[in-house]
Amino acid sequence: MLTVQATANTADREALEALIGPDRATELRSAADTIRERLGGGTLWHVNSTGAGGGVAEMLHTAIPLYTSLGVRAKWAVIGGDDRFFSITKRLYGALYGSIGDGGTLGDEERADYLRHLGVVADAFRELLTPDDILILHDFQTTGLIDLLGKDVAATYWRCHVGVDEQTEASSLGWDFLTPMLDHADGLIFSVDWHVPERLRERAVTILPPFVAPFIAKNTDLAPDVIADVLTRCGLSAAPPATRPTTVDVGGRAIHLNHAATVVSAGPPEPGQPLAAQISRWDRLKDMHGVLAAFTTFVPEGYLALVGPDPASIPDDIEQGVWFQRCVTDWQALPPDLRSRVAIICLPMADLSENALLVNAIQRSATTVTQKSLVEGFGLTVAEAMFKGRVVVASAVGGIRAQITHGDTGLLVEDPTDLAAFGALVTKALRDTPENHTMGVRARERVLTNFLPDREIVTTAEMITA
């Protein structure tokens, strides 16, 4: 029910300080001192529901080692659950994004089952806590722990990574379910201001976007031969595929390429054929099947890679396999000439560093990266692609609007259901033009200024001492 999660990354603090410059490095160290003083002898705990897959887990694999390198005692706990618990939280996920999802209810029975499960988690967690500890609880899977553990620690904060730009009947039901459990939180954290529902605007709210970890396998610079090796393993190169495990050096760290990707395609891109890629969870709201439809109907050139994790590896999202299979079924229904322009790729998750390296290489080989979400909390894959200088074509929803200025740092489609408009922007982004090159440079600068890990720690220090 509860695991203290080991992290996959090292801190790379010196490299981060060199990247952000001396002024921000000084601010970072000062913030760490503030957090350490606030904790006394306690621990800063981050708590979520999965150790692999999704932006929260990816950030915590960087944040916890960085905190530790700065002298802050920080740990990461992952809560588990059974099918009933995760069916309720999946329903909450859909509701907070504006739809009920499976059509089930979020009433007294669901709340009782939800809290009953978290009571077991709290009993186990209580054995690890001290009165000086501070909890940062991530998303709707953890909300009930505010009351269950609030008296055992110095402070509890709840962080919401999801939301809708305009509240709907379904999202109101989701907030009806969660709001009573937020009454005793010391503060709330949202990725963007417009996702804070009106009923919570009088609370202590901190706006804290997610960050890109610049030196991990997912984002660090890669040698051309490493990219070429990865592309053959993912079905995106006509070169003979690797037949045995390979170890590559990434920033002085050995990463082993041992596991095969699952590739559904009629063949790789032609040499020189521009590549569009969307890398997301297999999730209805990420609209991977919508990307497939838009590309094969309205983009006359190029090759599309739809890339996601192994669905079986994400225990808190029981619908991943359904939406992966939806993409496969839609691809199978295409005529041969269109099937030959699309690959559906399911990446292995057994080794997080290996998975991250595969994602990195695909993003760097792409001419454009897309994120056609129907709704979005923040959309960390957008910032990651921008960091690599890609022109991103994305929906103007959620936190994506906080990252991209249309025509300046990327391209936005106002209505994510408008397949023709999305296809037109992808067609534009696939062209090799000076405008697109300049847009990619500005995209990277935007991330360097606003979405690096030091912002996480500086804002946390301000929040817990407010």
As a whole number, mean pLDDT of residues 253-270 equals 91
Statement to judge: residues 174 and 241 lie in one domain: no
* Residue 407 pLDDT: 97
The Cα 212–Cα 403 span in angstroms is 12
Residue 77 located in a structural domain: yes
**Lateral strand order in the sheet of 411-413:** 262-265, 342-347, 303-309, 275-279, 368-371, 391-395, 411-413
Residue 102 located in a structural domain: yes
Contact 26, 103 (CB under 8 A): no
pLDDT band for position 38 (cuts 50, 70, 90): very high
* Residue 153 pLDDT: 98
394 beta partners? 371, 412
Statement to judge: residues 193 and 336 lie in one domain: no
* Residue 319 pLDDT: 78
Statement to judge: residues 239 and 163 lie in one domain: no
pLDDT at 298 > cutoff 60: yes
* Residue 285 pLDDT: 87
Number of independent structural domains in the chain: 2
As a whole number, mean pLDDT of residues 136-157 equals 98
The Cα 378–Cα 159 span in angstroms is 13
* Residue 243 pLDDT: 58
Residue 441 located in a structural domain: yes
As a whole number, mean pLDDT of residues 9-32 equals 94
- Residue that has been written with the tokens 């300049």 in this structure: 438
Residue 32 located in a structural domain: yes
Statement to judge: residues 207 and 232 lie in one domain: no
As a whole number, mean pLDDT of residues 199-210 equals 97
* Residue 58 pLDDT: 85
pLDDT at 119 > cutoff 60: yes
* Residue 214 pLDDT: 93
- Of 110-119, 173-182, 345-354, 430-439, the poorest mean pLDDT is in 345-354
pLDDT band for position 237 (cuts 50, 70, 90): very high
DSSP conformation letters of 343-386: EEEEE--SSHHHHHHHHHHHHHH-SEEEE--SS-S--HHHHHHH
Residue 216 located in a structural domain: no
As a whole number, mean pLDDT of residues 332-356 equals 94
Statement to judge: residues 36 and 172 lie in one domain: yes
The Cα 290–Cα 287 span in angstroms is 5
- Residue that has been written with the tokens 């996702």 in this structure: 195
* Residue 416 pLDDT: 96
pLDDT at 53 > cutoff 80: no
Statement to judge: residues 429 and 340 lie in one domain: yes
- Residue that has been written with the tokens 């967690």 in this structure: 125
As a whole number, mean pLDDT of residues 6-18 equals 87
In 3D space, the residue among 191, 213, 157, 174 whose CA is nearest the CA of residue 379 turns out to be: 191
Statement to judge: residues 182 and 314 lie in one domain: no
DSSP conformation letters of 124-189: HHHTT--TT-EEEEESTTSTTHHHHHGGGSSEEEEEE----SS--HHHHHHHHHHGGGGTT-SEEE
* Residue 316 pLDDT: 54
Report in angstroms the alpha-carbon separations of 397 from 72, 166, 209, 361, 417.
35, 10, 15, 26, 12
End-to-end Cα, the chain, rounded Å: 33
Statement to judge: residues 443 and 459 lie in one domain: no
CATH of the domain at 234: 3.40.50.2000
Confidence (pTM) = 0.88
Domain with 202, as residue range(s), is 2-211+452-464
- Of 124-128, 204-208, 373-377, the poorest mean pLDDT is in 373-377
DSSP-based three-state secondary structure for 204: coil
Residue 217 located in a structural domain: no
Statement to judge: residues 265 and 230 lie in one domain: yes
188 beta partners? 158, 205
Statement to judge: residues 264 and 375 lie in one domain: yes
DSSP conformation letters of 272-322: T--EEEEE--S-GGGTHHHHHHHHHHH--SSEEEEEEE-GGG-TT-TTHHH
The Cα 425–Cα 394 span in angstroms is 9
Longest CA–CA separation in the chain, Å: 65
Contact 345, 180 (CB under 8 A): no
* Residue 60 pLDDT: 95
Contact 152, 127 (CB under 8 A): no
Statement to judge: residues 419 and 273 lie in one domain: yes
Rounded CA Rg of the chain: 22
As a whole number, mean pLDDT of residues 153-164 equals 96
The Cα 416–Cα 401 span in angstroms is 13
* Residue 315 pLDDT: 60
* Residue 8 pLDDT: 73
Residue 219 located in a structural domain: no
Helix axes 434-450, 380-387, angle to 10 degrees: 120
Residue 22 located in a structural domain: yes
8-state DSSP, 269: P
Statement to judge: residues 205 and 264 lie in one domain: no
The Cα 466–Cα 463 span in angstroms is 5
Contact 291, 277 (CB under 8 A): no
Report in angstroms the alpha-carbon separations of 330 from 181, 347, 385.
41, 19, 26
Mean pLDDT of all residues belonging to the chain: 93
* Residue 320 pLDDT: 83
